[in-house]
Amino acid sequence: MPQKLLPLLLLLACSAGPAAAQSAPNAGAPAAPYSAAGRSTRAFTTAQGTDLRLTAAPAPLAFQPAGQPLETQVCVFVDPNHRFQTLLGIGGALTDASAETFFKLPKPQQQEFLKAYYSPTDGIGYTLARTHIGSCDFSSGSYTYVADNDEALKTFSVQHDEQFRIPFIKQAQAAAGGKLTMFVSPWTPPAFMKTNHDLLHGGKLLPQFRQAWANYYVKFIKEYERQGIPIWGLSVQNEEMATQKWESCLYTAEEERDFIKNFLGPTLAKGGLGAKKLIAWDHNRDLLFQRASTVLDDPAAAKYVWGIGYHWYETWTTSGMLFDNERRVHEAFPNTNLLFTEGCVENFKFDHVNDWALGERYGHSMVNDFNAGTVGWTDWNVLLDETGGPNHVGNFCFAPIIADTRTGQLLYTNAYYYIGHFSKFVRPGAQRVAATANRDWLQTTAFRNPDGKLAVVVLNTGDKKQDFQLWLNGQAAPTTSLPHSIMTFVVD
């Protein structure tokens, strides 16, 4: 080797060291192994047939040294030394329907609602939100922000939203202490931009309006931000494969890919919005891998995409929830985020607001979505009225909180409490850690929060009470899971 190259090689070797360490978070000296010894552990429970609703146990759990568990012992194993994705947040959608219902409530119930969702101490601490660009089914009627045939968007105005939705969002933001991560989604372009010349019933974006439609997103984001609502991100289109009787628009995977790389991505960048997080797909898990791979296998499109959004409605086919499809996307594209962007229970009936299955659907989805690598979880409407609306096409659904506008009272379904077992105790910036159960009737996930506290969620959808050991790296604490219950253990 020529002597004159040695100083250069030594310089490169020295400068490469810190960079390599930064790119590998587990590099360098290993962290001290986690131990539960001496830690205070509180248990919170919601259970069917009881008064327990996010209720704290009267006494903390006591961990003791434990040897090898026997196969006959039921255990939930947690190992905080193995870390995975970082949580963005948990929350719900702030829709026209939610806003209109909110302003029908008496002032004390409005404040009760805001505290119930957005206070991390007196409520369940929502930190993530979604809203819609233009009208959706959960609006009292259809509307757009421009006059017909205004391709230049000279008439663009969000005046419609200023009556209910914008003031509602701003109150939610304030209740969350200003820390509400907001993303936006369109249900449809204006009718003149579509093949069917209709806001409803599917149709496609006409090719000659792709640039005008990309400009529309930029106009919306800038106008909302001008009115004091920071926008963190956006999805390309809500439910891109569904011809609905409400606002809808169809894209094939290739059409979405090409719209992102040739129009929406460059237009966001040109408009100074290149840092906004762009979410592709925003539909069900059934086509999740095919849609993700079509977009992400094209570097010219993938460079604009922060993540892949998905819903839980693939069950309309009589399929179960397809969590494996999330795992395949996460395995194939580990640097692309997964985000649950919408889910609700459909076919509202007022006399079913206390059905226990409502919450269990949420618990089952959330445990498995997080274990598959999802970084954030967004419920659909945060609030609906006693009809499951308003909804201008009769698509009435459940929300975690129902407002009976006839009496002015708020009704809390058990879905509210099930979501709260995650959102209240697993905070933005938390890292998921390894957690498993050795019986399939217990489901579990766990996170370590930025303050070091560990949150372990245990879901029991079965009919029997189950004693088990909460086992953390050689320390175990005995506890009990009630039938049809969810528990969160907080280890300080």
Contact 250, 202 (CB under 8 A): yes
Question: Tell me, what DSSP letter sits at residue 31?
Answer: P
Using only C-alpha atoms, the chain has a radius of gyration, in whole angstroms, of: 24
Alpha-carbon span 338 to 419, nearest angstrom = 18
Nearest to 90 by CA among 424, 410, 396, 466: 424
In the block, residue with structure tokens 């209720």: 55
Cα separations (Å) of 187 from 203, 240, 276, 342, 489? Answer: 12, 9, 19, 13, 39
Judged by DSSP in three states, 206 sits in coil
DSSP secondary structure string, 294-346?
HHHTSHHHHTTEEEEEEESGGGGGT----HHHHHHHHHH-TTSEEEEEE---B
Contact partners, residue 40, CB within 8 Å, separation at least 6: 60, 491, 492
Contact 490, 453 (CB under 8 A): yes
In the block, residue with structure tokens 């009718």: 191
Tell me the torsion sign for CA atoms 466, 352, 310, 306: negative
Contact 186, 146 (CB under 8 A): no
Q: Supply 101's token pair.
A: 């219902």
List active site positions: 239, 342
Question: Tell me, what DSSP letter sits at residue 194?
Answer: B
Contact partners, residue 339, CB within 8 Å, separation at least 6: 88, 279, 307, 308, 309, 310, 374, 375, 376, 378
Cα separations (Å) of 475 from 37, 76, 199, 266, 470? Answer: 7, 12, 59, 53, 8
Contact 476, 469 (CB under 8 A): yes
Alpha-carbon span 308 to 63, nearest angstrom = 40
Alpha-carbon span 142 to 133, nearest angstrom = 12
Give strand pairing partners of 308.
Answer: 280, 338
